Structure 1
């Protein structure tokens, strides 16, 4: 663990040891020797000894990994360039974490490097995506080696601009976790290293996804999982006793652990997440995987269409012709099979270039179960062609009794066009807090009541797992993103479309069949509806009733 310490001239330093001011509420004995046997617990020593470029530690709370990281970073910053010295950037989830980390580094520097490093607060220049600069308060320890340890008190956007070793502490609680993780990978190009340390924040958090990918061997991260039980087994309570002047005994240790765990009460999932490093599927999540999969069935088609970027520049007639051809080949066979005796509804969640547009038609069965007929997913499809596809589907839904479309942002155009075409049958929905509280709750309850059926598909499963409690109501968190099997970004698209379809199915609306004006005179009231000619047009006929 020893490193060569730089013998270069010492930089100007503060005349007063300020580290105690930074170690707020921390117990750090003046005579602590970090190299002494037994000072570091087994899991701490293993973390420091691992020199991998990429390391990740899913952990229980207060297990001492950040303490060990501070020691390692002190050795690195104090070392000469020839001995592997480098700059270190610590990014915590709170300002106090940064202060505490810098305090640890300063204390270790005094012990290890035998120098009183300069501690200071400064403004870190962070360049945003639009080119503007913002100042982030940060703390710094400067070593005689010329290297420094900086703790940034706010998450920088321009992490790619950092060069050295980057430590992301409590990564699962950062505002833009995925953006942080994506950005630090650029550091590897010039020999940088990445350390990710975090307790869990739900099974769907990107950090948990990163851990699963590492365990599957998809990414070259070295994994160190440290639970509260591991830390106790490695001597955590013995250190607590030493700090507090108490006598250690196995019985006292068991009583202490029971007290810590008992403080969570009935919140067993929270206790397991925070202490045992087991991500809570219910911690924030509105639906469990088991509940979703129970309501999935084989054989329900999913039709996906992704357009190239230049498709929008085709002549209008060519785009329309290509779209009609796609609809005839992919949607008509599915629409022809629909049961004309049943009412149908649909929901639509709009996306243009980033997320997908999802169209989810549902059949209302005689048992009142809403069964998904099929799912349409559109990626990078121009506005006009989305309108043509939506109209192609809805025109042919037997006994249309309702539809609901996401009217936020760019989705307002398609929602307005649908409302103009179908009248009061279709609702333009602004996905507000009030709507989420009422309608998304009802949709989630449908899984417990077994009154909704979805296609059996991994992407649709992930979309519904994304539904979470945010500020007391259920929605897809704004910063939640997943990658579909096709490589495109997803933002819970089919979950939103499904919820909108379910919402439409609960409205007290009459059902309509739409037939072409040219066929209106041919419609025979004496022939059962499901034996009528294929519908598709603008002339509505009221069917009334549920069945």
Structure 2
């Protein structure tokens, strides 16, 4: 069953409820439509799917995707015309021009009237229930030119504060980490989320760094991850610029993850519109469902309020806020989005089994001595736990 132009149905929820009876017979219900703005049941259902609150699958096919899949080639075949890249490009331009201001919504799956704040201020404040200070490190511009002793003296108070904060962490829950890197104009921000038993994400640590060289940033990040290593389920890093070097170095220690199904705890994220489109709705759902608790801080609040809907996709606009030299660019919002993404990464615990000791009993309950049994025929029936000839590794089967 196909429900077309669902955004323009008078009562979409009731129509879908009626259509779902078709599934009992093994059928399929497809709900498709162009958008009719952001404030309609169709778009709300799409957002619920992306947030994981609706048990359906979302498929997005815009005009360019259809062209890549052969839309114009099929049109040319039906019309008896020859297909060429030039003819397709000219046809695309005409179609986009025909729709004019409505092209984004009609052709590119971008709801109209989709600009403005992504999260309401009162909602953000309601989730700021963690009464714990944000750790901030602001180094002088000439830090790199100072003697090593001066550098150590400037870092020492912050590192002591960080060590104290990490020492107070409860290592019972699992943890997820997000890091937004900056070196010159913006802040580097780290967010550490604890995943509670009822799956609420509680922020246990926020670190902001300004004018901090890469080596010192890596030391701070490594200290945090090292503390929660045994309970860490994932760490996501901004890798669109120099942040890649931090992600890479942490990947050497904790394992670099390159896909959803690969191993490793560190995932280097190169932001795209698709990443924001798919990963920001679950974060918003956490705010709406009271499934997240954050530090109460005015600067963190301003960073989250800086996220806007740009062409229907939540992201931080290019405009920076603040005074000269102390600008903010929604850096905390990105770090939090990365941490929340990391908390939802697929992961599994791996148990360790030691290599069996050659002196342990064989399959027939007899002590096995490799020195006395050099003939392969003599060991053909040995148990799977008995090591190969020549193995002398210590350990044993548990």
TM-score by length of 2: 0.54
Kindly report structure 1 stretches of 4+ aligned residues shifted beyond 6 Å.
Answer: none
1:212 is matched with none
Cα drift, residue 319 of structure 1: 7.2
Distance 1:298 1:288 in 2: 19
Tell me the residue number matched to 1:384. 215
- Corresponding residue SS for 2:142: helix
After superposition, what is the alpha-carbon deviation per residue over 1:111-135, rounded to whole angstroms, capped at 9, x for unaligned?
A: xxxxxxxxxxxxxxxxxxxxxxxxx
Question: Structure 1 residue 500 and structure 2 residue 332: aligned?
Answer: no
Question: Aligned partners of 1:323, 1:427: CA distance in 2, in Å?
Answer: 31
Match of 1:176 in 2: none
Greater strand share, structure number:
1
> What corresponds to 2:146 in structure 1?
314
Q: Which residue is 1:418 aligned to?
A: 250
Report the RMSD for the aligned CA atoms in angstroms.
2.3
Q: Is residue 468 from structure 1 mapped to residue 342 from structure 2 by the alignment?
A: no
Q: Is 1:401 aligned to residue 241 of structure 2?
A: no
Are the counterparts in 2 of residues 436 and 475 from structure 1 also a CA contact under 8 Å? yes
Aligned to 2:235, the other structure's residue is in SS state: strand
Q: Which protein is bigger by CA-based radius of gyration? A: 1
* Alpha-carbon shift at residue 309 of structure 1 (Å): 1.1
Judged with a 3 Å threshold, the aligned counterparts in structure 2 of structure 1 residues 301 and 458 are, in CA distance, closer, same or farther, namely same
Deviations, residues 404-426 of structure 1 (Å, cap 9, x unaligned): 00001121111211122210101
CA distance in 2, matches of 1:368, 1:320: 41
Q: Is contact 1:309–1:380 with CA below 8 Å preserved after alignment?
A: yes
Q: Kindly report which structure 2 residues correspond to 1:42-57, keeping only aligned pairs within 5 A, or say none.
A: none
3-state SS in 1 of match to 2:348: coil
Match of residue 160 from structure 2: 329
**Alpha-carbon contact 1:289-1:465 (below 8 Å) kept:** yes
CA distance in 2 between counterparts of 1:472 and 1:406 reads 22
TM superposition shift of 1:450? 1.2
Q: Which residue is equivalent to 2:267?
A: 427
Contact residue 348 and residue 406 of structure 1 kept, 8 A: yes
Q: Does 1:481 align with 2:313?
A: no
Q: Is the CA contact 1:401–1:511 (under 8 Å) kept in the aligned structure 2? A: no
Which residue is equivalent to 2:123?
291
Task: Specify which structure has the bigger relative contact order, considering alpha-carbon pairs within 8 angstroms and separated by 6 or more residues.
Answer: 2
Q: Show the counterpart of 2:188.
A: 357
Note the residue ranges of structure 2 that are not aligned, 5 or more in a row: 1-112, 256-263, 351-398
Q: Output the CA distance in 2 between the equivalents of 1:323 and 1:347.
A: 25
Q: Tell whether the 8 Å contact from 2:143 to 2:151 is kept in structure 1 after alignment.
A: no
- Residues 251-266 of structure 1 correspond to what in structure 2 (within 5 A)? none
Distance in 1, matches of 2:130 and 2:164, equals: 18
Structure 2 residue aligned with 1:193:
none
Distance 1:458 1:327, change over 3 A: closer
Compute the displacement of 1:471 (Å). 1.7
Partners of 2:223 and 2:157 lie apart in 1 by 11
Q: What 5-or-longer segments of structure 1 have no aligned partner?
A: 1-269, 271-281, 513-547
Which digits, 9 at most, give the CA deviation of each residue in 1:42-96, with x for residues without a partner? xxxxxxxxxxxxxxxxxxxxxxxxxxxxxxxxxxxxxxxxxxxxxxxxxxxxxxx
Contact 2:115 2:310 in 1 (8 A): no
Q: Secondary structure at the match of 1:456?
A: coil
Q: What is the alpha-carbon distance in structure 2 between the residues aligned to residue 500 and residue 447 of structure 1?
A: 15
Aligned partners of 1:400 and 1:511 also within 8 Å: no
Shift in Å at residue 355 of structure 1?
0.6
In the aligned structure 1, how far is the partner of 2:126 from the partner of 2:119? 11
Equivalent residue of 1:414, what SS?
Answer: helix
Answer yes or no: is the 8 Å Cα contact 1:323–1:388 preserved in 2: no
Describe the shift of the 1:473–1:319 C-alpha distance in structure 2 as closer, same or farther (beyond 3 A).
farther
Deviations along 1:173-212, one digit per CA (max 9) or x if unpaired, are: xxxxxxxxxxxxxxxxxxxxxxxxxxxxxxxxxxxxxxxx
SS at match of 1:291: helix
CA distance in 1 between counterparts of 2:207 and 2:125 reads 20
TM-score (norm 1): 0.40
In the TM superposition, what is the alpha-carbon distance from 1:321 to its structure 2 partner? 3.7
Q: Which residues of 2 match residues 182-197 of structure 1 at below 5 A? A: none
Deviations 1:346-368 (A, max 9, x none): 10001111110001111000111
**Can you list the C-alpha shifts for 1:332-381, whole angstroms capped at 9, x where unaligned?**
11111111111011100011111100011110001111111121000000
Q: CA–CA distance in 2 between the matches of 1:319 and 1:352?
A: 20
User: What is the CA–CA distance in structure 2 between the aligned matches of 1:405 and 1:323, rounded to whole Å?
Assistant: 26
Q: Find the residue that maps to 1:371 and give its secondary structure.
A: strand
Q: 1:412 to 1:294 in 2, by over 3 A?
A: same
In 1, Cα distance between the equivalents of 2:339 and 2:281?
14
Matches within 5 A, 1:88-167: none
Q: Contact 2:239 / 2:270 at 8 angstroms: preserved in 1?
A: yes
Contact residue 323 and residue 385 of structure 1 kept, 8 A: no
SS, match of residue 483 in structure 1: coil
Work out the CA distance in 2 between the residues paired with 1:426 and 1:323: 29
